[in-house]
Every structure is written in structure tokens, then in C-alpha cells.
Amino acid sequence: MSQDYSLGSVQTALTPQERFEEYLQSRGMRNTDQRRVLIERVFSSHDHFDADSLIEQLPRKGEDGYVSRPTVYRTLAEFVDAGLLRKFELDGRAVYEHDYGYPQHDHLYCTQCQKLIEFKSDELMQLREQVGRAHDFRVTGHRLIINGVCGDCRRQSRRPKRKQDLI
Amino acid sequence: MSQDYSLGSVQTALTPQERFEEYLQSRGMRNTDQRRVLIERVFSSHDHFDADSLIEQLPRKGEDGYVSRPTVYRTLAEFVDAGLLRKFELDGRAVYEHDYGYPQHDHLYCTQCQKLIEFKSDELMQLREQVGRAHDFRVTGHRLIINGVCGDCRRQSRRPKRKQDLI
DNA sequence: ATCATTGCAAAAGATTTGCAAGGTC
DNA sequence: GACCTTGCAAATCTTTTGCAATGAT
């Protein structure tokens, strides 16, 4: 039901479920089976995901616990609104990750295997404030993605080259 | 025909037009009226733009110099390939900016007026290498967008608050 | 003459919306 | 019972693609 916030988590009083309940009540919104199914699924593992991969993990149409595609999109937007998820764009599609109870970080993106690797940098936070000051700009957030090739992919492509492979 | 590369430009031997000619010839591709119209329009000012805003600036269907939408998309992809333009995503759509003869930089994005402000940071370049090394990752590029509110927008919203405005 | 390029129409992919039916408080 | 939420179907928005006609070398 709940999940582990290991790697660098932050002290949080409420579970995502509880936090979302609060959010709903404060807005006169209602909790439903679909919202419960989604928050359960979304917070049961700490992977990055997009709407499609989330839907793949959910019960199909006709099965118990099915949630329609529009409702998935609507609910993901609510999770972002509630501060539970963070959303960003990658190759033209929306990608989501845990926000609530999870520290600010950025990503390395392997253009070979599409893997996202998280990293934290305090210097970057300083840098963004400094740049903001220099441009009369009130900074509220940022998004940094460093592209390249991860170690695994580099090792895989470095297979011994025979004569036939050349040219 | 040509344009100024003022603000922090880099020494370049060829105009974008010439550079593109080279690119085309090296690939057995042909130059056409459409490609000439587009390169002329794209490099006549140094703004960021998306496909739609570019098309708005071009002659309409029936007029002289018209370029169809698919050709605009195809040609923008060629410009990116040729190293003339850089492409990135903003709010779900593709945005282009000059790359050829223009130095590496990043952006402040005003979430109020959608303005993009360029800035350069050598520290960021160092930081990205450092992070790469720490994660066994060969860095090939990055994209940083700092969000916030620009000075103009802050001043506009800071209108004098009278008693009635409060609460 | 050959083969790249264009414009058209249509497709595709991701996300959003109108609305009647159903569910929650 | 009031009204929020859902699922469906369809719309939207941006970008891409198949293909026959056109154009460049």
C-alpha cells in the first residue's frame, strides 16, 4: 500500500494518499475508486513514467479497477496540482515522477537506451539564483536534462570490431 | 539577405545560406525555391520561433513564395541536421533558434509572458562534465530552462493596492 | 532522364473536451 | 438531492507520411 522513500527522501508527515485526501477536501472534490487505483499504482514504485506506461500497468477495460484514458490524464493533472507529481517533457511526451516527499533533482538522459538517471547538485541551485539576479528575473524553478550515453550503453557498443565490420 | 550576428557571435566563414548549400551538395540533395525562402526568413532575425509562427510570417497559399506546412516541417528538420538550427521543446511544442555561428547558451523562461531570455554560463558547462564523470556518463549536450517571472512582468503586476483590493 | 522535392490529403500520436450517465457526500 | 466524476466518442493540436505531380541537375 505504501512504498519506501529510501534514497534521499525527506521527512513527510503524510502518505501521498493522505496528502491527496487533504487536497481533495480543501477543494470540495471527491475521492473515487479511480483516484484510489491511480494513486496506489503511481506511488507503489519510484520510476519515471508516462501516461501510456501507467495505463499498461492498470487493469484493462472490462476488468476490475479499470480507469479510462481521459480519467488517467485528468487525474495525473490533479496529482501535479496537488504537488504529488512533477511533470516534464521528453521527446515530445509528458513524463511524470514523484515530487511529494522527494528532493529536488535533475536528470541525465541516455539517448541510446532512454534511461533517466537522477542527480542532485547544490551548485546548480546557486547558479540559477545567480543567473536570475543578473537578469532581473525571479526564479521559481528550473529543468535541466543532460544528454549523453550511459556506461552500460557505451560498454555494449564497444564490441570487438572485426575486419568485416569496418567501412 | 544576410543578417547581423552581433551579441556574442562566433567567427564563421560562411553565411547560413552558403553553409546549407555545402550541406545539400555533400548529400546529393538539391536546393529549391522553398528552401531558399525558408533559410532567408529564418535567418533574417534572431528570435526563437515555432513552426506556426514561422508559417505566419511566410506568404499564404496562392501567393508567391508559398511553402506548404509539411515542407516547412521537413526543412526545419534539415536545418537542424545541417547544424543551422537548434531545436527544443517548450510547453509541448517544438521551438527553434539559431545554432550556426551562435554560441552555446541556455534560457530563462518567463511563465507570465512566455519570453525567452538567453544567458551563458561556463560554470554550467563545467558542472555538466563533473556530473557526467560522477555517473559514468558520456555527456554530449544538455538543456537547461530556468522558469520564473521577468522584471517587466513583475513591475506590471505590482500595481498599487488600494484597501478594496485586499482580501 | 533520373531522381529529389513538393503539395495534398490523410494519418498518426498525444492529450483534451462535451456531455449524458453514474457515483459520492 | 446536489453536484462532482466518469467513460465514451469525438475533437484538437502538432507533426508526419504516402504518393502522384513537379522540378533540379
DSSP, residue by residue, B77-126: HHHHHTTSEEEEEETTEEEEEE-TT----EEEEETTT--EEEE--HHHHH
Q: From 1.10.645.10, 2.40.50.180, 3.40.50.300, 1.10.10.10, which CATH number describes the A13-102 domain?
A: 1.10.10.10
Is the minimum CB–CB distance between A108 and chain B shorter than 8 Å?
Answer: yes
CA of A52, C1' of C14: distance in angstroms? 10
> Quick one: fold of A103-167?
Dna Ligase; domain 1 (3.30.1490)
- Are A154 and B138 a contacting pair at CB < 8 A? yes
Average pLDDT of span A83-104: 94
Nearest CB partner across the interface for A146, out of B142, B147, B148: B142
Q: Looking at residue B13, what is its pLDDT?
A: 83
- Is B3 a residue whose pLDDT tops 60? no
Q: Is the CB of A29 under 7 A from strand C?
A: no
Report how far residue B43's alpha carbon sits from residue B5's, in angstroms, rounded to the nearest whole number: 10
A122 vs B contacts (CB less than 8 Å) = none
Chain D positions within 7 A of any protein Cβ atom are 4-10, 13-18, 23-25
Q: Phi then psi for B88, rounded to 5 degrees?
A: -150, 170
Running DSSP on this structure, what letter comes out for residue A164? G
- Are B136 and A128 a contacting pair at CB < 8 A? no
CA of B42, C1' of C7: distance in angstroms? 21
Q: Which residue of B has its CA nearest to A144?
A: B144
- Are B108 and A150 a contacting pair at CB < 8 A? no
Annotated domain spans of chain A:
13-102, 103-167
**pTM summary value:** 0.86
Q: Looking at residue A86, what is its pLDDT?
A: 96
DSSP-derived 3-state class of residue A93: strand
**pLDDT single digits (tens) B140-153:** 999 999 999 999 99
- Is A54 a residue whose pLDDT tops 80? yes
Is the minimum CB–CB distance between B127 and chain A shorter than 8 Å?
Answer: yes
Judged on CB neighbours under 10 Å (0-12, 13-18, 19+), B109 is buried
Q: Looking at residue B162, what is its pLDDT?
A: 54
**Contacting residues for A70 by C-beta, under 8 A, at least 6 apart:** none
Q: Residue B136 — very low, low, confident or very high, per pLDDT cuts 50/70/90?
A: very high
Cα A141 to Cα A85, A124, B108: the distances in Å are 15, 11, 10
Short-list A104, A112, A99, CA closest to A152: A112
Phi-psi region of B122 (alpha: psi -120 to 50; beta: other; left: phi over 0): alpha
Percent of chain A residues topping a pLDDT of 70: 87
Report how far residue A59's alpha carbon sits from residue A55's, in angstroms, rounded to the nearest whole number: 8
**pLDDT single digits (tens) B29-46:** 999 999 999 999 999 999
Per-position b or e across B35-68, b if 16+ CB within 10 A of its CB:
bebbbebbbeeeebbeeeebbeebeeeeeeeebe
The radius of gyration of chain A from alpha carbons, rounded to an integer in Å, stands at 20
The dihedral sign for the CA sequence B24, B93, A144, B119: positive
Q: Is the CB of B62 under 7 A from strand C?
A: no
**pLDDT single digits (tens) A114-141:** 999 999 999 999 999 999 999 999 999 9
